[in-house]
Structure 1
Amino acid sequence: MKNYIMVIIIGVLFTSLTGTALAENVETNMETYDAEAFRQALEQEGFTVQEGELGYFDLIGMLEKGILPSAYGNNPTTKYVAYFVPAATGQGVDERISKLTSTLGMSGNTTPFWNLGPDEAVVFVGRTPPECRYFSYDHYIMHRTIGNERRWLFSNIADTVNDLVIKTEGTPNGSSGNPFNQTTVIIITADRGIDQRIRAAAQSAGYSDDIINTQVLPSTILKMGLENDSDTFAAFVRPALFNDTQAGDDYINNTPATVFRITPNNTTELDPYDYPELRVRGTGQTEFELMDDLEELRIAILNKYNESSATELPTSQAVPVGSDAIQRGINGVGPNNDACYLWTANQTISSPTPPFVNTSLYYPFLREPAITLGNDSNEFIIVYGVNHVATGKATYSNFAIYGADVWNGVRAITDADFNGSAEEYLPDNPNAKYLYVYKLARNCSEDDQYCYEVPSGVGVHGIEPDQPLFVAWRAYMENTTKTGPAYSEIVYDRAIKFDPKS
């Protein structure tokens, strides 16, 4: 009887273990099969399907290797995942782009900057990022021909698909729920009929319509097509501040998704989308009730460092909104509707530039007069302001220090780093919890908790003592509106440069 019971126990354990393993294998195979089933369904629908790749778009790495002349204001808090899309049938990839993609470890026949016909689509199918403070999928116009001039616009086209609005298995039809590590489908297209046909194919392959998102390429403001003077586009996944750093790195380095370029085999009657309705920034509630507290903090900072000479740096909006840059034909430098962007300058960028612009040849107001950070212990920068996360105006915020020539973001300090830092300066002010103070220096003392030592002598990963620099701030996504905070409702962040008195 004991032997019989033992046999049953062993049998149950074996079934449990092998069943788990088989279930894992089935799940893995289903993920592969689903993507393949989707491809087959698209082909049966009358499309040619080319598979692309997803990969980390390492701006600092490409600057370091001489592939790019600038890091273009990289956000050190995030690692962007780019869509690498196959070239259109019968077309090749530009030699410079091919060198860029191969440097990033991608296929030579894919490109992060792609044309798209008015009846084509690019589709992401796979998993969203693991749990993080924020993520979004965003699509950009990169290049446009204006007259005989090819310009780099690098401007977002419309709203993002972010973690508060995305349709996934965990947030069907955009409902509240868990959007992280969930299956989703995102279609980028200019045409309503093509969108509907792709959705039908996805549903026949087992994907619910409740997890399918569309990002519109509005023909009213874009020049679709495969000709040399057509606009080119890009798309990125933008995750920030992963709860589990290792899980985040795994997602960036081996994104569990694929990208399809989808082209109809036969000519179709076009049904172009209109420009999509945008989410509206602003709630009517501002941060301006903290202005007196901020002035009190400013005076406390100046008093604490009164043995040094203080220069209060200007603050302005750094980049235009995408639609403004597109209409004016200027370089937008990668804005996102989910964010506000500020920097230590007295104007917003507004220059037309060629592709792969060398930023050291433009924007002289960032370097004249030059702000530098020498090695003297009495030379430092104090960054301070309103903590936009604490006031509810942002999901996350940060500031970063950049070289003003090649725009290399060295380190970002986030709200998690500076939370509570103003209370030392305003110990009796209950609103200190809504403010912050942080020091940028070459040497931080052991008791200076809120200080970052800016490195030098490490190439593009640091800033040299004589290299002009600037500070830039980002405030991402107000939960109430599910888009970026309104510039008119936030108090601008500030910075003061301190130097030894002569």
Structure 2
Amino acid sequence: MIQHFLNRPRVFLALAATALLVTPSTTAAKAASAPHLKASPTASAASDGQRPGDGTDQQVARFERQLARADYASQQGSEEVFILNQKYCTGAVFSAMWPNPQSPYIISSLPEVPGQAPNTNTPRTWRIRQDEAVVLIGTTPPPVEYFSFDLTMLKGSLPVGPVLWTSVGDPVNLKTIHTRGRTPYSRQFALVITGNRRTRDEVNQMLAASGLGGATTDMTIPPAMFRLGLEAGTDEFLLGIRTSVPKAGFEQALEDYRATPPLQVFRVRPGSGAADQTQPVYQPDPLRVPPLRTSGNGENELNLNPTLQTLRQRIIDAHPGYDVHEEVVQRGFEESYPGLQNNLVIDPPTTGVGALSYDADDPITDNISLPDGSFAVAYGTNHVSTGQATYSSITLNADTKAAVAVEAKDNVALLGSARDFIPDQKNADKFYAWTFSRADNGPTGPHVTQLPSTTTDFCAQYNGTRSVDLSTVRFVARAYMQPDTLTRPALSALLLDRVLVFTPKK
């Protein structure tokens, strides 16, 4: 049995969104087996009676006391909404990399450990000692179509590029997260990110003693695939939160959540008391690569192809005064672990891995010319209506290198839009058709988005000065989390989204 650790000065935790890093101590006691950390008799593993929006201040205070008892060091961090369009326009990133404008990342930023090699993209990416953990405590998003916590590895400079940006296993999403309550929305939770089994077990015990035992979810950085450590050349990581499309009546709640994320993130490590904290205290105890959720439930959309072809012909017939050519989305982003092994970097127009979530299929078109006077009609199956996704969307991006997002429509907005062309088809609501237009006398109606002219200064809205070629566009069709498998739908089960480009006949 390990003796009681000496108390350390308590670390102040701001009530605003903050992050802490925790590490183990070098005392002789800690060289033995993990300490037996008893849960507080008042701690509750789950509380179904929790009110939406209840804060986590009490649990954070208890966790802070547990850290002090265990002689763990900790550091504060912060939360930031990271809008890639804005970051590109202001010069912070070399490319926006085809972002989803409906789901700007909320990113956990962490300070550096004293003595470590500087991070490449401070404070957004961070190195992690092999016996460290990153702990996120907070409240989950309000009711949305989809949310997830995505742990990624990012190698390279965001301002200069190119970058290798890969997912670290499956994300934690609204169906896999543990919370204090029966619903995943607006509930207390904790995430533990580490590659060390002993550290994970100790931190989990501390969270249980703090009242979050039944609301804690583990995320693994497997040392078999990633290089952990604080010296130069080790991998750097980024934790981002996706929040896509509020349920009806929760639009303002989602805006408030993004504006002031109710999250506190901790960097924690066994404390050594030394000024240089880069050396591990615990011996390596590597966690294995977790199994990935398997995509595909045996169902598919392919029997809907006859209606898809009818929809295609009706769209063409509705615009006789134009020449038309067609683009079909294709697999553009490689899965993360194959992409990691092959060093498939993002360097637009090269897509590489593109931080593709294991919860998503993100097929993409080639770059397309869409000059003033022309329009494009994106059409296909509504993957949510067919049961193949929880959230889906079509996004129009611009510029071969900048790859900014100009417009996006989600499955809720797209529902019913195909009836403009196939009202006589019984399965019309399993399809969509949306027009993105630069034609002065082109299509009009509720399912038409009028695009800015190609001469528009795109970056002016962000007070940026970089140029964007709006005449060159690229479409991304997103399909997130098949409900039965809780991961991406099998691409072979989907009818691929398509784009018809109409230009005036000469």
TM-score, L = length of structure 1 = 0.81
Question: Is the CA contact (8 Å cut-off) linking 1:144 and 1:232 kept in structure 2?
Answer: no
> Post-superposition shift, 1:90?
2.6
Q: Which residue of 2 aligns with 1:82?
A: 107
> Post-superposition shift, 1:466?
6.0
Q: Which residue of 2 aligns with 1:211?
A: 215
What SS is found at the alignment partner of 1:296?
helix
Question: Is the CA contact (8 Å cut-off) linking 1:125 and 1:257 kept in structure 2?
Answer: yes
Matches within 5 A, 1:142-291: 142-143=154-155, 152-170=163-181, 177-207=182-212, 209-243=213-247, 244-266=250-272, 267-291=281-305
What SS is found at the alignment partner of 1:71?
coil
Question: Is the CA contact (8 Å cut-off) linking 1:444 and 1:452 kept in structure 2?
Answer: no
AA at the equivalent of 1:390: S
- After superposition, the C-alpha distances for 1:472-496 in whole angstroms (9 at most, x for unaligned) are 1101111111111111111100001
- After superposition, the C-alpha distances for 1:45-72 in whole angstroms (9 at most, x for unaligned) are 1211111111101211211212222111
What is the rounded CA distance, in whole Å, between the counterparts of 1:432 and 1:122 in structure 2? 47
Q: Which residue of 2 aligns with 1:129?
A: 141
Pick from 375, 388, 391 the counterpart of residue 393 of structure 1: 388
Q: In the alignment, is residue 375 of structure 1 matched against residue 372 of structure 2?
A: yes
> Post-superposition shift, 1:151?
6.8
Q: Which residue of 2 aligns with 1:421?
A: 417
Question: Is the CA contact (8 Å cut-off) linking 1:398 and 1:415 kept in structure 2?
Answer: yes
Out of 282-291 and 31-40, give the one that drifted further: 31-40
- After superposition, the C-alpha distances for 1:397-450 in whole angstroms (9 at most, x for unaligned) are 111111132010012111111211112322322122211111110258785111
Q: Which residue of 2 aligns with 1:309?
A: 323
What is the rounded CA distance, in whole Å, between the counterparts of 1:464 and 1:114 in structure 2? 30
What SS is found at the alignment partner of 1:126?
strand
AA at the equivalent of 1:482: L
What is the rounded CA distance, in whole Å, between the counterparts of 2:56 and 2:473 in structure 1? 47
AA at the equivalent of 1:429: Q
Question: Is the CA contact (8 Å cut-off) linking 2:116 and 2:231 kept in structure 1?
Answer: no
Q: Which residue of 1 aligns with 2:488?
A: 484
What is the rounded CA distance, in whole Å, between the counterparts of 1:466 and 1:321 in structure 2? 29
What SS is found at the alignment partner of 1:205?
helix
Question: Is the CA contact (8 Å cut-off) linking 1:408 and 1:461 kept in structure 2?
Answer: no
> Post-superposition shift, 1:44?
1.6
> Post-superposition shift, 1:464?
6.8
What is the rounded CA distance, in whole Å, between the counterparts of 1:466 and 1:203 in structure 2? 52
Matches within 5 A, 1:62-77: 62-77=87-102
Q: Which residue of 2 aligns with 1:362?
A: none
Residue 143 to residue 30, structure 1, CA distance change in 2 (3 Å): closer
AA at the equivalent of 2:406: V
What SS is found at the alignment partner of 1:388?
coil
What SS is found at the alignment partner of 1:325?
helix
Question: Is the CA contact (8 Å cut-off) linking 1:159 and 1:338 kept in structure 2?
Answer: yes
Q: In the alignment, is residue 336 of structure 1 matched against residue 361 of structure 2?
A: no
What SS is found at the alignment partner of 1:206?
helix
Q: Which residue of 1 aligns with 2:29?
A: none
Q: In the alignment, is residue 41 of structure 1 matched against residue 66 of structure 2?
A: yes
Residue 31 to residue 88, structure 1, CA distance change in 2 (3 Å): same
What SS is found at the alignment partner of 1:261?
strand
Task: Please tell me the root mean square deviation across aligned C-alpha atoms, in Å.
Answer: 2.3
Question: Is the CA contact (8 Å cut-off) linking 2:329 and 2:475 kept in structure 1?
Answer: no
Matches within 5 A, 1:442-457: 442=438, 443=440, 447-456=444-453, 457=456
Out of 382-391 and 455-464, give the one that drifted further: 455-464
TM-score, L = length of structure 2 = 0.80
Question: Is the CA contact (8 Å cut-off) linking 2:54 and 2:188 kept in structure 1?
Answer: no
Larger helix fraction of residues: 1
Residue 144 to residue 328, structure 1, CA distance change in 2 (3 Å): farther
Question: Is the CA contact (8 Å cut-off) linking 2:55 and 2:138 kept in structure 1?
Answer: no
Structure 2 gap segments, 5+ residues each: 1-51, 273-280, 346-352, 462-466
AA at the equivalent of 2:60: A
What is the rounded CA distance, in whole Å, between the counterparts of 2:385 and 2:489 in structure 1? 13
Q: In the alignment, is residue 324 of structure 1 matched against residue 324 of structure 2?
A: no
What SS is found at the alignment partner of 1:317?
coil
> How many residues are treated as equivalent by the alignment?
426
